[in-house]
Amino acid sequence: MDFETKFKLSKPIVIADAGLLSNENITQLTEAGYTCILGGRIKNESKDIKDRILKLKLSDNELAEIKKGRHTRLIVSYSEKRAKKDKHNRERGIKKLEEKIKKGKLSKSHINNRGYNKYLKLIGNIEIKIDYDKFESDNSWDGLKGYVTNSKLTPGQVVENYQHLWHIEKAFRISKTDLKIRPVYHRLRGRIQAHISISFTAYMIYKELERVLKKNRKGISAKKAIELTQSIYALDYKLPDSKIQQSKLIGLTDEHKVLLQLFK
């Protein structure tokens, strides 16, 4: 709240993938006054909504909206490019299942809803087959994607805002790979807050480094810059007639000098 007041910001739009999609989460966000856009699991919707989705018959890049509840809407989009990708992935999954069946590598325990195992069925008590009818029926869902929102944004604005989710995914990749931030078990509230603050501060410093390098067009990535700083060495010395200890950087390369010039 202090941050929002200081910079005169309205409440942000909460954008998240389908992992946060639950009626309880949406209700809590709404009650707290937040607008949200969440990835939708359209195949998990009620039969009525699924029937309405399949009756839409959307063309490439067309959008439609379906009322879900008192405060929420389901935005559905269709993409021919996504449809081709979905079909390709399903056909590849079926081929892998066929190969495993031929080699006798599948058992009753493999019949579940995980991945493409959903296309398996048991004939009698011992024979495992592929349910090609179920496979073909999934053609109807190729290219379709859903977004659940409690906002008043237009369908186009909902999809456009959700597409910014890659910034968050990139932030996690940077935190885990470049900054090597790892989960740490904390019990006390102060330590939990400190861990989050340190992680966030490290990420902000990384982004500022990235911004400065990009602004000055030095052709050095933030990751490379961090590696360069680890190879900057200094020699501490004290002259015979002086009591003051001094320091001098040694072995600087041209790239080292570029960084030093930028950040002094």
128-154 pLDDT per residue, tens: 788 888 888 889 999 999 999 988 899
Q: pLDDT, tens digit, for every residue of 199-258? A: 999 999 999 988 988 888 778 888 888 888 888 888 888 888 888 888 888 888 888 888
Distance from C-alpha of 38 to C-alpha of 11, rounded to nearest angstrom: 16
Non-local (6+) Cβ contacts of 228 within 8 A are 220, 253, 255, 256, 259
Decide if pLDDT at 190 tops 70. yes
Per-residue model confidence (pLDDT) at position 60: 95
Decide if pLDDT at 93 tops 80. yes
Distance of CA 218 to the CA centre of its chain: 29
Three-state DSSP at 71 gives: coil
Sketch the domain layout of the chain as residue ranges: 2-76+146-153, 82-140, 173-221, 223-263
Q: pLDDT, tens digit, for every residue of 29-82? A: 888 888 889 898 898 889 999 999 999 989 999 999 999 877 789 999 999 999
Distance from C-alpha of 232 to C-alpha of 252, rounded to nearest angstrom: 7
Per-residue model confidence (pLDDT) at position 125: 64
Q: Mean per-residue pLDDT for 104-112?
A: 74
Check the CA dihedral 147-149-155-160 and report its sign. negative
Decide if pLDDT at 1 tops 60. no
- Where are the strands (E) in the chain, listed by range? 13-16, 35-40, 63-67, 73-78, 120-123, 127-130, 144-149, 233-237, 246-250
Per-residue model confidence (pLDDT) at position 53: 93
Per-residue model confidence (pLDDT) at position 155: 94
Pairing of β 35-40 and β 13-16: parallel
Q: Mean per-residue pLDDT for 151-180?
A: 88
Decide if pLDDT at 100 tops 80. yes
Question: For residue 192, which amino acid is it?
Answer: I
Q: Mean per-residue pLDDT for 164-193?
A: 86
Q: Mean per-residue pLDDT for 157-179?
A: 88
Mean pLDDT, the chain, as a whole number? 86
Decide if pLDDT at 124 tops 70. no
The burial class, CB within 10 Å (0-12 / 13-18 / 19+), for 202 is middle
Distance from C-alpha of 82 to C-alpha of 260, rounded to nearest angstrom: 46
Per-residue model confidence (pLDDT) at position 224: 87
